Amino acid sequence: MKNRLEELRRKKGISQERLAEAMGVSRQTINSLENGRYNPSIKLAFKLARYFDLSIEEIFIYEEDNK
């Protein structure tokens, strides 16, 4: 799943560490999310959406696997 997390975080001018603290996760989790190595739990996705005042769909882009 692709996402706009890094773009949104940089636009807000905050570090991965600061976002991680606000979300109650590790900086490594934020890094993994930004690099597409980890998909968030639904709870974390909602927290991120609220933090950025966006819908989940505006942050995370679901691409169906056509296999």
9-64 tens-digit pLDDT: 999 999 999 999 999 999 999 999 999 999 999 999 999 999 999 999 999 998 77
Predicted local confidence at residue 23, as pLDDT: 98
Residue 25 DSSP code: S
Tell me which H or E stretch contains 3: strand 2-3
Q: Pairing between strand 2-3 and 60-61?
A: antiparallel
Task: Give the span between the Cα atoms of 13 and 52, in whole angstroms.
Answer: 12
Predicted local confidence at residue 42, as pLDDT: 96
